[in-house]
Amino acid sequence: MKPAGKMELVAMGLSHHTAPVEVRELFAVSEADLGAALVELAGDGAHGAVLVSTCNRVEIWAEGEEGEGLRAAIEAFFRRRGLAEAHREALRFWRLPDSVQRLYELASGLDSMVVGETEILGQVKEAYRIAHEAGRTGPLLNRLFQGAFAAAKAVRSATRIGRGSVSVGSVAADLAGQLFGDLTTRGVLLLGAGEIAETAARALLARGATRIRVANRSAERAQTLAAQLGGEAVPWEDWASACESVAVLLACASAPEPIVTSARLASVLARRKEPLFVMDLAVPRNVERSAGDLDGVYLYDMDDLQVIAERNLAARQEEIATCRQILRAKVAEFFRWMEARERIAGGRA
Amino acid sequence: MMIAARVTGPDRTRLTAPEFQPRPARRRAGRALFIMMNAQAGLFWMVLGLYGLGLFFALWRLAGARAYRLWPKLAIVLPAFLLHTGFLWEHGLAQGRCPVATFFETLVFIAWCVVALQLALSLAFRLNYLTVFAMPLVLLCLLAALAVGDRAAARIGARGIWLGTHAAVDILAFAALALSGVASLMYLIQEFQLRRHRLSTSFMLLPPMLRLQSLATWLLAGGFLLYTAGLVGGVAALVIQKTAHTCADAKLLWAAGVWFYYLVLVVGRTGGRLSGRRFAWLCLGGAVFVLATFALANAWSGFHRFDA
């Protein structure tokens, strides 16, 4: 780890922008194998390296002596994993200053499939932690990654890049949260026990909902899902009475005709004081459209929620330019630090 | 023409004559009063300006769909509130009484109560965006006070502890009822957006709808209790001070009507007979009615006029 000449920071890798999943999975490195992969890179000549491997990307940041050696080291790593001529176009390479900008954008979620998502920041932090604990990060990489985490935080707090949910389930949970505030004391009734019901219910659980009830034509399936979600199953024919004590009705059963009619819902509403948030995620729809006109009922179907999710995503994309501006300032900060470091090193020499 | 006639008329000459040859003690008192009046005017304008700035800042945050945090809000509104308190204190000292006797003082005191309540609510429940909706009401009260002018003569006649308490408690009640209207307005805006699927960018920044509804209910209940206590104080004042009045007086009828309206609202809400939307409309309607007709009821009253 002792640098001899001028140091350089490079990045190389492929992502969902450049490679299909069949190519990405060739190079994916599991968390358990990360340590060994970093040793491999060190053997090829990198003084330090951090490898970020997620379902959407495999990218490596490495520091070492200036020249082509560093690029060759990373290429050797990819070749050993089956890099063919056909994949070469998918592989991208960044030198300073682009390698810094690349990491800052990645950590801020600008390069993610869902722009502004935060999962990537956690994954980058984890990749850095593993490399750091394995003793595979030098001073440049340490400063680079700390800077990236700070930049991601600055971008998130100064812009709306992370605002507004972009998935149907999360949008529905957000709206229910905005209506009821605290969801911890509110119940949720699932009408149907399919995959969509489960995803939306999990989004509600993530926002604090606790009492989940599942009504499904197949009682067995209802019990299985209820057990998975920590809730309880109710008989299919009792859904209306179960609806009296919940705040959110999540309808996603498979049925050719509406199950929840206006008349049925009106009789339910007569026996409750609070409003009812109804999410109709089924196609064909489970809830009669006119039920949305009832006082105290807020009805959203799949299209309504999709429109909001798309609008939120568009709003996030509009923020990208502002985010890049903030990141440019952070990158400049990193270079000022690098220059100062080189001046000190030059003075000592 | 009227101003010229006043200045040159015999009355004006008679009124201002002592000022041309003042005694030293009177001159000193006059100068002190002049300085104090100017200081009070300065305070008033500063309060108005800072509240305006607070509203502008909150609107800017809301329009940009950005979070409006407590500390930036306190940095603007709290100094304004302290100056507002200082103004009322100074004014009370200058007049030698609780500053709730003139229409000007009433408006300034209502504004003070609204700010005090919304600051307390912001601190307790993180309802920062209440400022956006409550501050226009505060500014409206202060601007109306400015338009009315501070005329010490335009006050309700004989004051006593009962009348002072009645006025102060009733004004506090009006502020609570006005804020319940403000919370209801915020609820209705969100309700409209959620029902029509027309969510604005700031929709998710406002407090949750049911929290606003319960806030409106509590403010309504509190305001109603205070109003009842204030009315009891007012009736006691009428009896104790033996004020000449008639039961068919416009102010008494208005007060009884308002009290009954809010009684129905409280009973209807606690009994669960009013839906959220209807309750919000009635709260808002009640607050608008009270604030819009308060001055008229006083003007038409035989014994409760500000210039009585």
Distances in Å between the alpha carbon of A242 and those of A82, A219, A245, A260, A288? 57, 15, 6, 13, 19
State the nearest Cα–Cα gap between A180 and chain B, in angstroms: 5
B208 to A275: CB separation less than 8 angstroms, yes or no? no
User: Among A204, A308, A295, which Cα is nearest to A249's?
Assistant: A204
Which residue segments constitute the domains of chain A, with CATH numbers given? 7-161+319-348 (3.30.460.30), 168-309 (3.40.50.720)
- Report how far residue A134's alpha carbon sits from residue A42's, in angstroms, rounded to the nearest whole number: 11
State the nearest Cα–Cα gap between A273 and chain B, in angstroms: 7
* A61 burial via Cβ count (<10 Å: 0-12, 13-18, 19+): buried
User: Among A211, A222, A294, which Cα is nearest to A247's?
Assistant: A211
* DSSP codes joined into one string, A90-135: G-EEE-TTHHHHHHHHHHTTTTSSSTT-SHHHHHHHHHHHHHHHTT
Q: Which of A87-91, A217-221, B14-18, B223-227 has the highest mean pLDDT?
A: B223-227
Domain ranges of chain B: 38-155, 156-308
Q: What is the mean pLDDT of residues B238-245?
A: 72
Express each pLDDT in B205-234 by its tens digit. 889 999 999 999 999 999 999 999 999 988
- Report how far residue B259's alpha carbon sits from residue B266's, in angstroms, rounded to the nearest whole number: 10
Residue of A nearest to B207 (CA): A178
Residue of A nearest to B203 (CA): A178
Of A163, A164, A178, the CB nearest to B209: A178
Of B65, B208, B272, the CB nearest to A179: B208
Q: What is the mean pLDDT of residues A85-98?
A: 86
Interface residue B272 vs chain A (CB under 8 A): yes
Interface residue B159 vs chain A (CB under 8 A): no
Residues of A with CB below 8 A from B197's CB?
Answer: 300, 304, 307
Residue of B nearest to A311 (CA): B201
What pTM value is reported for the model?
A: 0.76
A179 to B276: CB separation less than 8 angstroms, yes or no? no
Residue A1: enclosing H or E segment and its boundaries?
none
A181 to B272: CB separation less than 8 angstroms, yes or no? no
Q: Is the pLDDT of residue A230 over 60?
A: yes
Express each pLDDT in B124-177 by its tens digit. 887 888 888 999 999 999 999 988 877 655 555 555 677 778 888 999 999 999
Task: Report CA B230 to chain centroid distance, whole Å.
Answer: 15
Express each pLDDT in A55-69 by its tens digit. 889 999 999 887 778
Looking at residue B33, what is its pLDDT? 53
Interface residue B242 vs chain A (CB under 8 A): no
Using the Cα atoms of residue B293, residue B294, residue B297 and residue B298 in order, give the sign of their dihedral: negative
**A319 secondary structure, DSSP code:** T
Interface mutation target, options A156, A160, A178, chain B, most CBs of B under 10 Å: A178
Lookup: tokens for A227 = 């057990």
Of A163, A177, A275, the CB nearest to B276: A275
Express each pLDDT in B71-115 by its tens digit. 888 889 999 999 999 988 888 888 777 788 788 888 999 999 999
Q: Is the pLDDT of residue A86 over 80?
A: no
Catalytic residues of A: 55
Residue of A nearest to B192 (CA): A298
Residues of B with CB below 8 A from A175's CB?
Answer: 194
B276 to A296: CB separation less than 8 angstroms, yes or no? yes
Q: What is the mean pLDDT of residues A149-175?
A: 88
State the nearest Cα–Cα gap between B132 and chain A, in angstroms: 18
State the nearest Cα–Cα gap between A53 and chain B, in angstroms: 34
State the nearest Cα–Cα gap between A272 and chain B, in angstroms: 9
- Report how far residue A259's alpha carbon sits from residue A282's, in angstroms, rounded to the nearest whole number: 11
A274 to B210: CB separation less than 8 angstroms, yes or no? yes
Residue B290: enclosing H or E segment and its boundaries?
helix B276-299
Q: What is the ipTM of this complex?
A: 0.74
Looking at residue B9, what is its pLDDT? 37
Size of interface A-B (CB pairs under 8 A): 46
Residue of A nearest to B211 (CA): A181
Distances in Å between the alpha carbon of B168 and those of A215, B90, B100? 57, 17, 7
A292 to B208: CB separation less than 8 angstroms, yes or no? no
B199 to A308: CB separation less than 8 angstroms, yes or no? yes
B201 to A308: CB separation less than 8 angstroms, yes or no? no
B277 to A308: CB separation less than 8 angstroms, yes or no? no
Residues of A with CB below 8 A from B202's CB?
Answer: none
State the nearest Cα–Cα gap between A148 and chain B, in angstroms: 24
